[in-house]
Chain A
Amino acid sequence: MLTKRIIACFDVIAGRVTKAQQFQDNIDVAAADALATRLYDDQIDEIVFYDITASSEQRKIDLDTVRAVARHVFVPFTVGGGIRSIEDMFEVLKAGAEKISVDSMAVRDPDIIRQGAEAFGRQCIVLSTQVKAVGIRQGIPSGYEVFVDGARTATGMDALEWVQRGAALGAGEICVNSIDRDGTASGYDLDITRAVADAVNVPVIASGGAGTVEHIADGLTAGGASAAIISSILYSPRFERNLGVREIKDGLAELGVPTRPYLDT
């Protein structure tokens, strides 16, 4: 049986993992390759790495850090931030990533999803989208609007319409990031996560707001997600106590959510 995935997410600035709240006030946590190694050793299922300033600084992604992480991590590794072209994607894959996450760039140039899927297969392209509950109104029938550039810029695009278009263009996974819940430890936005999971036929990743094992379980059951992104719960200094992967997986098993079994070593 296919199990649910627990994905550790890194917001990286200059090779360092940082932690934000609602896409702001990033505080320093650790070197990306050191934290990736620690979490790999702790049997995390997957790692996603966002070079969060590449896009706004109009520069290419930090390939040295991608390479350093890829050398230590033998579970799937997704990279996003500052991807503008097929050549950028190719470089990131050659640096050792499995998947490319596109977000703001895909909103500006949706065809990059199609081109990426054609060149590298749809399983390689994750459409990540920053969504905010704005209420149902003209042009936003789902009540959730797509934002870009670190949640700073509204697009006027409806979240559900966008993810359906992205999946049709070739995205192999959809990651739903709730701007309202990011870094709040108040749980995923289950409404939009479930709506997206019902609207597309590709795996959906819940993101933004996981503070407890129960939140993760909710995202993977009520939210309909195939995978859950976590960060604070694993390593945020703002948390009184961080949890290890085993503790999270044991907790999920108790709640009836199957994950890859933790191996005794």
Chain B
Amino acid sequence: MIAVVDYRAGNAPSVIFALERLGIPCRLASRPDQLEHAERIILPGVGAARATIDSLRDSGLVEPLSERVLGAGVPFLGICIGLQVLFDHSEEGDVEGLGWIPGQVRRFADTLRVPQIGWNAVQPTQPHPLWGDVAQPAYCYFVNSYYAVPADSSDVLATTEYGIEFCSMAVRANIAATQFHAEKSGQLGLALLANFAVWDGRTGATSPSC
């Protein structure tokens, strides 16, 4: 069972629809007790970093999430804002993140059209079970004004170009995250979600395609 964290600023229904299409058992989790028996957790997200963090705190979800993901090592996938809140700090609203992955979240330069909206190439930088046989580079759907800068380059799983080369997927032990909307990236995005649904949370990659 995958728990999809449901909070006011999120787009949990889209993720649920995608998992249902894949035939993957899942349910919304808006209360701490709904995370207790989850085998995997997805934190979807749209919108602003501060609203997301505030919403998670108000729902009392931060502690149980940390307990399950950092403590119990449950495989975790953050999506879009669900990636950005994993870092130490975001320039968006000068907000402290969860700090699960060391690094900062910065805004794209004003010389670009911001937000970045559309399909962009995701280029893997290291092998990982999440890739499976997903075509590379994978064109995925992005909507973001900010991007993460992991402090440790070994936490970068893929990069994408938008004015600069930025981290479009991050991974650290059992914690993975996509800056793009995997649930809205067509067949490739669904394939990534399907790979997450069988991922054991270890990074030791065996994917022969990388």
Contacts and interface: CB of A to CB of B under 8 A. Distances in A.
B86 to A, nearest CB: 17
A74 B118 contact: no
Contacts of A5: 117-119
A76 B181 contact: yes
Given A76-B184, A226-B113, A96 B139 contact: no
Given A3-B118, A123-B145, A74 B139 contact: no
Given A70-B14, A201-B114, A263-B135, A123 B186 contact: no
Given A2-B116, A123-B115, A203-B113, A71 B17 contact: yes
Interface string A116-132: 00111111100000000
Interface residues of A, dominant DSSP = loop
A103 B8 CA distance: 24
A173 interface: yes
Interface residues of B, number: 42
B184 A123 contact: no
Contacts of B70: none
A139 interface: no
Nearest to B161: A1
Contacts, number: 116
Interface stretch (B46-54, B97-105, B148-156): B46-54
Nearest to A204: B113
A120 B9 contact: yes
Interface stretch (B35-43, B60-68, B187-195, B196-204): B187-195
B118 A123 contact: no
Interface string B8-21: 11010110011011
B125 interface: no
Contacts of A94: 13
Contact of B115 (A118, A122, A259, A265): A122
Nearest to B47: A121
A71 to B, nearest CB: 5
B161 to A, nearest CB: 6
A145 to B, nearest CB: 26
A201 B18 contact: no
11 contacts: A3-B118, A5-B118, A74-B18, A74-B21, A98-B14, A98-B46, A118-B48, A119-B9, A124-B46, A202-B113, A202-B115
